[in-house]
Structure 1
Amino acid sequence: MSDILFSLPVEQQITPCLTLCKKDELPVIVINHPKAKGAISLQGAHVLSWQPEGEKPVLWLSPESNFKQGVAIRGGIPICWPWFGKAGDPMHGFARNQLWQLIAHDENDECVWLTFSLEDNEQTRILWPHSFSLIARIKMGETCEIELESHGDYSFTSALHTYLNIGDIDQISVSGLGPNYLDKVVGGEHTTADKKLTFSGLIDRIYTQPESFSVIADPANQRSIEIHHKNASDAVAWNPGAEVAKGMADMPDDGYKTMVCVETAYVTNARTVTNDKPQFLSATIRCHKNEQK
């Protein structure tokens, strides 16, 4: 799917490294920098792809994704805001379905920075009766960094819903999630002594005491992926498994085999924003190649 994004016809050359393209109905910023390639949809300020030089794509994007106005994209890093899950309609909030504005960008030999903004409008006030201002700062180079800044006067929950591209769900493990979690499949609060999470069937958990970063060991791709969680209270781990994937129109039946979500979040307790105190949520992703034996 990433190859398609990087071959889209150019509508505007913004800088030597940044181009404005269009995928079906949605405008997409394509990044082609010596340190990394990537793509960001203006709908949702949604990171679609990030691929450091010499690496396979790090983010998973479904080949069945819809690039239609107002329709959520399956994969990448959706911004879930101002609620997570089924706490409201649409699921995971409206920020990922809204058109954001690119308000600033810069680049140097190491990376590119892009800044997007979203403010309340007639559509959002029907769904959620609050004034707000959001800023999403995205940096792409040898690492991918995303920071969400929320302004206004309200309470909310949020997540950076990161889909990672893996070789084989049966082989991966995730560490750094902590011992305590809410299980959304069987229900209830649980504690585990296992230091690593492995996957067999549907997994949908909110870890409530995660470490400062999580590590996804991906032996099939001969690498590990770190996700550093900042200003987060929770980390979410999700894979739909075979049966649920078959019922998802925007995911191939076997799509679950090559993706896993490890999300930076605050969802168990709402955060409160006041006019003099914004709230932040940040994630940094980096790859490490495994040494050959």
Structure 2
Amino acid sequence: MTQQDFSTVLANVNGVRLTTSSAHFNLAGDGLPLLVVENALGSAAIVIQGAHLVSFIPTGGQDLLWLSPNAIFEPTKAVRGGIPLCMPWFGGHPDGLPSHGFARSTDWTLQSARNLADGRTEIVMSLQDTEQTRSLWPHAFKFEFTILVGTVLELSMNTQNLSDTSVPYTYAFHTYFAVSDYTQVAVSGLADLNYIDTIGVERRLVQEGDVVFTGSTDRVYLDVPEVQTIIDGTRTIRISSCAQSAVVWNPGEHAKNIADIGGDAYQHFVCVERGDVFDNALTLAAGASHTATMTLSA
């Protein structure tokens, strides 16, 4: 995907050059509003629903993020690709509530936008509890998501528990990275770590060497180091985060049965998701906050 894929109308927020669009990538839906951020260092596209990054292109480089050619842009439906925000819970819910929480399918508010002296652009988006969110997660909260667009992409998610009780909390930056061929890439930075293989009967294993993909893969790595890298031929993508978990996922040929992936599109992404999940799940005390960061560069 390139910047030219977005039909845009110029807009200006506090001197920041933004473009806005109603994205019609799939005829099944009426599109969703998005923001395109452009500066001399790079560009990014953010769907307002879910504060969902679907593109990040360093100037002169390639898009780090993969967006499904069959992605559906419909209200309340999570977009396939980019960086969905899975929170305030990750994965399935024991009570049958929506998988991966509600943040990725709820409209966020553009809180601020500004250009920094070093040429980067800072976008801040927020989401606060409503009657609808409290029907799913009965807690007062504020999510504040800061996006810094430059030669690298810097993300910071601050979660505030505004209720008077402690709150269980898991989250992940569910990042889809664009690669040439998933069977030809390797993920380093996870060797010798314990992981949970969630395909079929759940197993706990130890990673030997780099992670490679030979088919359907779904692994939760625990207590991971700060940095992982995706090695894709001569290109290397660096992922740096303070989060304690890393989820490595590609559905393999099962993707042909996933409507918004389909065909052979799965061959061109790998997910390396940073967050705090499974054994690394968090509990936020009453009035407490938690900040998660992630930086992506090529």
Say yes or no: TM over 0.5.
yes
- Determine if the alignment matches structure 1 residue 177 to structure 2 residue 156: no
For 1:164 and 1:34, locate their aligned partners in 2 and report how far apart those are by CA, in whole Å. Answer: 23
Which of 200, 203, 213 matches 1:188?
203
Secondary structure, counterpart of 1:226 in structure 2? strand
Q: Which consecutive residues of structure 2, in runs of 5 or more, have no partner in the other structure?
A: 25-30
Q: Residue 85 of structure 1 aligns with which residue?
A: 91
Q: Residue 70 of structure 1 aligns with which residue?
A: 76
The amino acid that maps onto 1:240 is: P
Deviation string, structure 1 residues 1-48 (Cα, Å, up to 9, x no partner):
44464x323163434531222214311010121110110111111111
Q: Residue 264 of structure 2 aligns with which residue?
A: 254
Q: Residue 169 of structure 2 aligns with which residue?
A: 156
Q: Residue 111 of structure 1 aligns with which residue?
A: 120
Q: Which consecutive residues of structure 1, in runs of 5 or more, have no partner in the other structure?
A: 288-293
The amino acid that maps onto 2:250 is: N
User: CA offset at residue 53 of structure 1?
Assistant: 0.9
For 1:286 and 1:12, locate their aligned partners in 2 and report how far apart those are by CA, in whole Å. Answer: 27
Q: Residue 9 of structure 1 aligns with which residue?
A: 8
Secondary structure, counterpart of 1:89 in structure 2? coil
For 2:256 and 2:4, locate their aligned partners in 1 and report how far apart those are by CA, in whole Å. Answer: 24
The answer on whether the counterparts of 2:10 and 2:18 sit within 8 Å (CA) in structure 1 is: no
Secondary structure, counterpart of 1:170 in structure 2? helix
Q: Residue 291 of structure 1 aligns with which residue?
A: none
The answer on whether the counterparts of 1:12 and 1:21 sit within 8 Å (CA) in structure 2 is: no
User: CA offset at residue 147 of structure 1?
Assistant: 1.0
Identity %: 37
Which of 31, 46, 51 matches 2:57?
51
For 1:54 and 1:195, locate their aligned partners in 2 and report how far apart those are by CA, in whole Å. Answer: 32
Deviation string, structure 1 residues 199-243 (Cα, Å, up to 9, x no partner):
011000000031111000010xx210000011x12101001101x
- Determine if the alignment matches structure 1 residue 21 to structure 2 residue 21: yes
- Determine if the alignment matches structure 1 residue 96 to structure 2 residue 96: no
Secondary structure, counterpart of 1:61 in structure 2? coil
For 1:9 and 1:105, locate their aligned partners in 2 and report how far apart those are by CA, in whole Å. Answer: 18
For 1:150 and 1:198, locate their aligned partners in 2 and report how far apart those are by CA, in whole Å. Answer: 33
For 1:86 and 1:156, locate their aligned partners in 2 and report how far apart those are by CA, in whole Å. Answer: 13
The amino acid that maps onto 2:188 is: S
Deviation string, structure 1 residues 224-265 (Cα, Å, up to 9, x no partner):
0000011x12101001101x1110100131111110000111
Report the TM-score, using the length of structure 2 for normalisation: 0.90
- Determine if the alignment matches structure 1 residue 245 to structure 2 residue 251: no
**Paired residue total:** 281
The amino acid that maps onto 2:101 is: G
Q: Residue 27 of structure 2 aligns with which residue?
A: none
Report the TM-score, using the length of structure 1 for normalisation: 0.91
- Determine if the alignment matches structure 1 residue 168 to structure 2 residue 175: no
The amino acid that maps onto 1:255 is: A
The answer on whether the counterparts of 2:196 and 2:220 sit within 8 Å (CA) in structure 1 is: yes
The answer on whether the counterparts of 1:151 and 1:274 sit within 8 Å (CA) in structure 2 is: no
Q: Residue 283 of structure 2 aligns with which residue?
A: 272
The answer on whether the counterparts of 2:16 and 2:114 sit within 8 Å (CA) in structure 1 is: no
Alignment of 1:27-38 (within 5 A): 27-38=33-44
Residue 210 and residue 133 in structure 1: after superposition, are their counterparts in 2 closer, same or farther (change >3 A)?
same
Secondary structure, counterpart of 2:261 in structure 1? coil
The amino acid that maps onto 1:270 is: A
- Give the CA RMSD over aligned residues: 1.5
The amino acid that maps onto 1:98 is: T
